[in-house]
Amino acid sequence: MTDTAVTAPTEPPAGGHATSTGLSNEKLGMWVFLSSECLLFGALISTYLLLHDRSVEGPTPKDVYDIPFTSVSSFVLLMSSLTMVLAVSALTRGDMRRNRLWLLTTALLGTIFIGGQVYEFTSFVREGLGFTTNIFGSAFYTLTGFHGVHVTVGILMLLSLVGLSLRGNLSQERAETVEIIGLYWHFVDVIWIVIFTVVYLAA
Amino acid sequence: MAITEERPLALPAADGGDDDFQPLGIFRRPATATGWRSWVTTVDHKRIGVMYGVIAFFFFLVGGSEALLIRTQLARPGSSLLSANTYNQVFTMHGITMVFLVVMPMAAAFANYLLPLQIGARDVAFPRMNAFSLWCFLGAGIFVNTSWFLGGGADGGWFAYAPNTGVVFSPTHGLDFFTIGLLIAGIASLVSAVNLTVTVLNMRAPGMDMMKMPVFTWMILVVQVLLVLALPVITVALILLTLCRLFGANFFDVSQGADPLLWQHLFWIFGHPEVYILILPSFGIVSEVIPVFSRKPIFGYPFMVASGIAIGFMGWGVWAHHMFASGLGPISVAAFSLSTMFIAVPTGVKILNWMATMWGGKLQFTTAMLFSIGLVGMFTIGGLSGVTHAVAPADTQQTDTYYIVAHFHYVLFGGAMMGLFSGFYFWWPKIFGHFLDEKMGKVHFWLMLIGFNLTFGPMHILGLQGMSRRIYTYEEGLGFDAWNMVASIGAFVIAVSVLVFLANVVRSRRGAADALPPGPDPWDARSLEWMLPSPTPAHNFDEIPTITQLDEFWHRKYGTDENGRTVRIAATEDVTQKGDATDVHLPSPSYWPLVVALGLPLIGYGLIFNLAWAVPGALLVLGGIYGWGLEPADDDENPPHHHAPAPELEAGAEPGSTESEEAAGD
């Protein structure tokens, strides 16, 4: 829980203050925040697992899930982690143009994923599964909806980074800002892998 | 965001840097240092700490008035002062107020003010996020309490057990104010917890490794970690309940197949760490006060730290002892019964270490010390009745009786509040530059101690006699009459003691000009904050001290002679700082934390009454976040020295808010 081994302040990260752990405040803050997010999704996934097969009437998970479709959109989201890494790596090398290119690609892949989710939700509703239809519907839409909101926030942050970059305010020294938002993005991806496994595949 | 021009791409970064930097902010950062504007835009951890304290004390008076209503209603059998419905609202709001709007923020007041000072830092890691937490908390407090004027307060108990809190059983909007208000307060606490965790881990003075930090700092760190991990769980519970109440979800609808225990599990997985979140800051305060007034170092420092961490860990494994009566099954009950008994061990270690610290010390019974000793005594009583709850068969007798009420008031009032009052008397001269009156302080202490025991002592008996919690009245002749009257008299004695405290605050302030100034180190204390002038200058340390050992400040004053006796080696004036440093670079004030925080209650009202109203709130939050992110890192007169030239745009989504928070550290 704490870092007792590190004692003396180490070299400051580029452009920042010296810190006791050697990590910048912003990066450490993101890690602490993500630990909190683990419990958030942990509680949501537990709630889903408790409730998904307790509906007194249909539709049930088996009736609505389209595994091939969701597999494809999951793959798209996974690939966005790769492009996120490429974006950070480009900025670390000082290649602003590639950085923007990969950031935009990441945002685009995220948007495709969200588009897939919107399509999935509408098709489920057409098949008769609304938010209030049964307890499975409530649990499913809440869990995946929460994840979707997280992806959307990530897309907004990526686009903001592109804007900053175009304005000339995202220099090589600030590659860590992109890396920190990358941490968030990867986290959201990892959570999706868990959700895809326990919600879709386990059904 | 304005994207104005196409720039030459792929500048070589080495010479690209600062020269062509253009500030992005639309507005300048506010620069006033005095007047109300300076307070609403401040990012100074000390001012934020003071405001936390003032606001929390205001809510203490609100929650205390609700307590007096409860005790007036229950003083006599068959009373009709409050209807059953109003009574439900009053005791629910009393609980919510005291837990979320009094004890937690009051601990945050001390944490904010003292943490940077105790670790030798100039501010917290993210000063603007710190201000945001404060305004967010204030917004939540006001939001929850406006329910009184908009159809009535929450009426489901502070634990708000669903399905009992569904729309069917609680059709007013009171519980909606509760769920959304707590979500907003949760955002405030989460942001603050991330902030303070990073501050402690990252911003310690040179040489201050973890095991040289004061116990208070350690306890606050444990609390922040608990908050980071516990808040998301109640966030989920509150969101589920909100979705059920406002949008027709089925999470707690048993006829739809819901499990009625889901809420209880989610709530108490948060709720039990929460009780340690409430008490550990006071444990930290007492661990600072007792050594100073015993003239001895804290006994067993590593054990104090380790037991605090152990409480933090074990606090996660005991939640179901709140649910022994719910039919969990014998295995669960036995397991949680055992773990609950085990958690008494690290708490006992703390009690014994405080006593061993006092043992053989030159005790000085100042008001701060009296309140600390009060905590040790009263918390021990509450801890012991807690162990009786761990015995599951006994607990099934005690569940939902006044015995439980007695128990948690002994740990939360006799424990947490006594510790916080101890902290007031101890650090008042450091914060405000004048003492609180000791004579009135002692009157305050004794009145509060007597009133407290009169109020909550008899509740043990009432509970064992079978008086239920949360009943709005009782019939004559059940044997409850006398003790209820005693408890109600006690409650008013507590009220008088609080008035004495308020009078003390006013009188001490008026007399401050004529009184002897306390100087930097009035108590001959041990930790770094006492190196600084009282009140603390805006920049904290003239020069960040280098730390070589625990209680660094004390060891700069005292050493040992050849016979091993403690002798003074330096005059206090020689080892304290003057506070006259100039040109210390400090983070600039900002409007944006307030703007973002203002948006959240608006979204809350929108969710409850009319979704259209949420739109301006959401715009305020979103616009505020971008204003925040694009704010110039510094004002023009005070150019950045070693900050990154452009503002940070660092972010994460907040659980529980409809919008994300994007936040920038300075």
Share above pLDDT 90 across residues of chain B, in percent, rounded to a whole number: 84
Q: Is A123 touching B (CB cutoff 8 A)?
A: no
Question: Which chain B residue has its CA at the smallest distance from A184's CA?
Answer: B652
C-alpha dihedral over A17, A20, A21, A26, to 10 degrees?
-40
Is B348 found in the same domain as B282? yes
The two structure tokens encoding residue A35: 């630990």
**Is B290 exposed, middle or buried (CB count within 10 Å of its CB: 0-12, 13-18, 19+)?**
buried
Q: List the single residue in B with minimal CA-CA distance to A163.
A: B3
Residue B481 forms part of a structural domain: yes
**Are B312 and B450 in the same domain?**
yes
**Relative orientation angle of helices B127-146 and B592-609, to the nearest 10 degrees:** 30
**Does B649 reside within a domain?**
no
Tokens read off for B92: 């629910």
Nearest of A33, A11, A34, A9 to residue B201 by alpha carbon: A9
Of A175-179, B25-29, B316-320, give the lowest mean pLDDT range. B25-29
Spacing of C-alpha B1 from chain mean position? 37
| SS3 at position B562 | coil
| pLDDT, position A203 | 77
Write down the residue that tokens 């501050």 correspond to.
B199
**Tokens 């009133």, residue located:** B451
Strands B650-652 and B566-568: unpaired
Longest dimension (CA), chain B: 89
DSSP calls for B424-451: HHHHHHHHHSSPPPHHHHHHHHHHHHHH
User: For A3, which of B10, B17, B201 is closest by C-beta distance?
Assistant: B201
**How far is residue B586 from each of residues B109, B541, B644, B662, B664, measured CA to CA in Å?**
20, 12, 14, 22, 15
Is the Cβ pair B648, A26 closer than 8 Å? yes
For position B484, what pLDDT does the model report? Answer: 97
Residue type, B436: L
Q: Which helix (H) or strand (E) holds B661?
A: strand B661-663
- The residue segments making up the domain with residue B180 are 84-244+518-575+586-639
Residues in a beta bridge with B142: none
Task: State residue A4's pLDDT score.
Answer: 42
Strands (E), B479-548: none
pLDDT at B305 over 90: yes
The separation between CA A109 and the C-alpha centre of its own chain, rounded to angstroms, equals: 12
Q: Which of B221, B650, B658 has the most A C-beta neighbours within 10 Å, making it the best mutation to test the interface with A? A: B650
Are B508 and B536 within one domain?
no
Asked whether the beta carbons of residue B195 and residue A181 sit closer than 8 angstroms, the reply is: no
User: For residue B601, what pLDDT is reported?
Assistant: 96
pLDDT at B661 > cutoff 60: no
Cβ distance of A55 and B17 shorter than 8 Å: no
pLDDT higher than 70, residue B17: no
Question: Which of these, B622, A185, B1, lies nearest to A177 by C-alpha position?
Answer: A185
Final residue in a domain of this structure, among B468, B489, B515: B515
A183 in contact with B at a CB cutoff of 8 Å? no
B205 contacts B116 by C-beta, under 8 angstroms: no
Taking the CB of residue B478, how many other CB atoms lie within 10 A of it? Answer: 12
The answer to whether the CB atoms of A169 and B230 lie below 8 A apart is no
Tokens of B654: 């907040």
Contact across the interface for B202 and A142, Cβ inside 8 Å: no
Q: How many CB pairs under 8 A join A and B?
A: 221
**What pLDDT is attached to residue B27?**
60
Joined tokens for residue B320 = 């179901």
Which residues of chain B are within 8 Å of residue A34 when distances are taken between CB atoms? 652
Question: Of A57-61, A89-93, B580-584, which gets the smallest average pLDDT?
Answer: B580-584
* CA neighbor of B136 nearest in space, from B666, B581, B665, B659: B659
Tell which residue, B650, B598, B609, has the closest CA to residue B629: B650
* Among the partner residues B9, B13, B209, nearest to A171 by beta-carbon distance: B13
**Within this chain, do residues B112 and B223 fall inside the same structural domain, yes or no?**
yes
Query: A182 — phi, psi (to 5°)?
Result: -60, -40
**3-class secondary structure per residue, B190-232:** HHHHHHHHHHHHHCCCCCCCHHHCCHHHHHHHHHHHHHHHHHH
Instruction: Give phi and psi for B349, each to the nearest 5.
Output: -55, -45
Question: Are A47 and B4 a contacting pair at CB < 8 A?
Answer: no
A97 burial via Cβ count (<10 Å: 0-12, 13-18, 19+):
exposed
Same domain as B542, residue B433: no
Secondary structure of B544-563 as H, E, C letters: CCCCCCCCHHHHHHEEECCC
Domain harbouring A136, CATH code: 1.20.120.80
Residue contact B13–A160, C-beta within 8 A: no
Q: How far is Cα B654 from Cα B239, in angstroms, rounded to an integer?
A: 13
Q: What whole-number distance in Å separates Cα of residue B231 and Cα of residue B655?
A: 9
Confidence of residue B26 (pLDDT cuts 50, 70, 90): low
Tell me if A87 sits within 8 A of A104, measured CB to CB: no
* Domain boundaries, position A182: 25-201
Mean pLDDT score, B151-178: 93
Could you give the CA distance from residue B357 to residue B50 in angstroms, rounded to a whole number?
30
Residue A127 lies in a domain: yes
Contact B202 A23 (CB under 8 A): yes
Residue A202 is encoded by which pair of tokens? 């386990």
How far is B346 from B338, CA to CA, in rounded Å?
14
* pLDDT score at B10: 36
Residue B3 backbone phi and psi in degrees, to 5: -105, 105
CB A113 within 8 A of CB A80: yes
From chain A, the residues in CB contact with B251 under 8 A are 47, 51, 135, 138-139, 142
pLDDT of B380 reads 97
Kindly report the number of other CB atoms within 10 A of residue B189's CB atom.
25
pLDDT at position B631 is: 82
Q: Average of pLDDT values for B35-50?
A: 92
- Same domain membership, residue B607 and residue B488: no
The rounded percent of chain A whose pLDDT value lies above 70 is 92
* B623-657 per-position pLDDT tens digit: 999 999 888 765 444 444 333 333 333 333 333 33
C-alpha to C-alpha distance for B228 and B224, rounded to whole angstroms: 6
- Chain B residues with CB under 8 Å of A160 CB are 1, 626, 629, 649, 662
- Domain assignment present for B483: yes
Shortest CA gap B160–chain A (Å) = 18
Indicate the number of domains in chain B. 2
For B450, phi then psi, to 5°, come to -65, -50
Q: What are phi and psi of B25, to 5 degrees?
A: -65, 145
Statement: residue B451 has pLDDT above 60 = yes
Q: A98 to chain B nearest CA, in Å?
A: 9
CA-CA-CA-CA torsion for B358, B360, B365, B367, nearest 10 degrees? -10
> Are the C-beta atoms of A100 and B12 separated by less than 8 Å?
no
A60 touches chain B (CB under 8 A): no
| Contacting residues for A46 by C-beta, under 8 A, at least 6 apart | none
Q: Which of B17, B202, B269 sits opposite A173 (nearest CB)?
A: B17
pTM: 0.91
Residues of chain A neighbouring B235 (CB-CB closer than 8 A): 40, 43
A96 in contact with B, Cβ within 8 Å:
yes
Nearest residue, CB atoms, A20 vs list B201, B221, B243: B201
For residue B645, list chain A residues with Cβ-Cβ distance below 8 A.
169, 171
Decide if pLDDT at A138 tops 90: yes
C-alpha separations of A141 from A145, A171, B185, B243, B666 in Å: 5, 40, 25, 11, 38
Asked whether residue B279 carries a pLDDT value surpassing 90, the answer given is: yes
Among B230, B236, B248, the residue with its CB nearest the CB of A44 is B236
Question: What are the DSSP calls for A77-136, one per residue?
Answer: HHHHHHHHHHHHHHHHHT-HHHHHHHHHHHHHHHHHHHHHHHHHHHHHHHTT--TTTSHH
The two tokens of residue B388 are 């009786």
Q: How far is A13 from chain B (nearest CA, A)?
A: 11
Residues in chain A within 8 Å Cβ distance of B660: 153, 156-157
Which of B58, B62, B60, B68 lies closest to B493, judged by CA? B68
How far is Cα B71 from Cα B485, in angstroms, rounded to an integer? 9
Is B510 in the same domain as B523?
Answer: no
Task: Please tell me the distance from the alpha carbon of residue B264 to that of residue B272, in angstroms, as a whole number.
Answer: 11
Mutation to test the A interface, candidates B198, B223, B265, most A Cβ within 10 Å: B198
Query: Which candidate, B491, B496, B372, B492, places its Cα nearest to that of B440?
Result: B496
How distant is the alpha carbon of residue B25 from its chain centre?
A: 34
Q: How far apart are CA B572 and CA B568, in angstroms?
A: 10
State the Cα–Cα distance between residues B307 and B159, nearest whole angstrom. Answer: 28
Please check whether residue B128 lies inside any domain of the structure.
yes
> Does residue A13 lie in a domain region?
no
Q: Say yes or no to pLDDT of B554 above 50.
A: yes
Is A156 within a domain? yes
pLDDT tens digit sequence for A94-122: 999 999 999 999 999 999 999 999 999 99
CA-based nearest residue in chain B for residue A1? B225
Is pLDDT at B22 greater than 80 in this prediction? no
Which uninterrupted H or E stretch holds B559? strand B558-560
Length of chain A as a residue count: 203
Mean of the pLDDT values across residues B396-418?
96
> pLDDT at residue B30 above 90?
no
* Residue B86, pLDDT above cutoff 60: yes
Which of A21, A39, A136, A147 is the best mutation test for B, with the most CBs of B within 10 A? A39
B426 lies in some domain: yes
The lowest-confidence range among B30-34, B144-148, B280-284, B463-467 is: B30-34
Tens digit of pLDDT for each residue in B482-538? Answer: 999 999 999 999 999 999 999 999 999 999 988 889 999 999 999 999 999 999 999
Q: Which two tokens stand for residue A203?
A: 């059904």
pLDDT reported for residue B632? 76
Domain check: are B497 and B524 in the same one?
no
Query: Which secondary-structure segment (H or E) carries B662?
Result: strand B661-663
A7, A31, A32: best mutation site toward chain B, by most B Cβ within 10 Å?
Answer: A32
Residue of chain B with shortest Cα separation from A179: B650
Same domain for B473 and B540: no
Question: A132 and B235: CB-CB below 8 Å?
Answer: no
Provide φ and ψ at B468, rounded to 5°.
-75, 150
pLDDT at A7: 39
Residues of chain B contacting residue A131, judged by C-beta atoms under 8 Å apart: 247-249
In a domain, B90, yes or no: yes
Nearest to B418 by CA among B447, B457, B375, B451: B375
Q: What is this model's ipTM?
A: 0.91
- Which residues in chain A touch residue B201, judged by CB atoms under 8 angstroms apart? 2-3, 20-21, 28
Closest approach of A81 to chain B, Cα-based (Å) = 17
pLDDT at B437 over 90: yes
B343 plus B371 within the same structural domain: yes
Instruction: Say yes or no: A31 contacts chain B, CB-CB below 8 A.
Output: no
Which member of A4, A135, A181 has the closest CB to residue B258? A135
> Does A25 lie at the interface with B, CB-CB under 8 angstroms?
yes
CB B613 within 8 A of CB B602: yes
Q: Looking at the domain assignment, is residue B16 inside a domain?
A: no
| Residues in chain B within 8 Å Cβ distance of A42 | 232-233
Domain-located, residue A139: yes
For residues B186 and B103, membership in a common domain is answered with yes
| Residue A17: inside a domain | no
Which residues of B are less than 8 Å from A168 in CB distance?
A: 7, 20-22
- Does B412 share its domain with B530? no
**pLDDT of B49 higher than 80:** yes
By the 10 Å C-beta count (0-12 exposed, 13-18 middle, 19+ buried), B330 is classed as: exposed
B392: domain CATH number? 1.20.210.10
Query: How do strand B566-568 and strand B558-560 relate by DSSP bridges?
Result: antiparallel
Q: Which candidate from B126, B229, B626 shows the least CB-CB separation from A36? A: B229
Residue A101 belongs to some domain of the structure: yes
Question: In the beta sheet, which residues pair with residue B651?
Answer: B662
Question: Is any Cβ of chain B less than 8 angstroms from the Cβ of A128?
Answer: no
Q: Is the pLDDT of residue B584 over 90?
A: no
Residues of B within 8 A of A44 (CB-CB) are: 236
Number of C-beta neighbours around residue B232 at 10 A? 25
Count of domains observed in chain A:
1
Express each pLDDT in A71-81 by its tens digit: 999 999 999 99
Asked if A34 and B247 come within 8 Å (Cβ–Cβ), the reply is: no
Residues of A in contact with B190 (CB under 8 A): 33, 36
Nearest residue of chain A to residue B226 (CA atoms): A36
A192 in a domain, yes or no? Answer: yes
Is the predicted pLDDT of residue A13 greater than 50, yes or no? no
The pLDDT assigned to B20 comes to 39
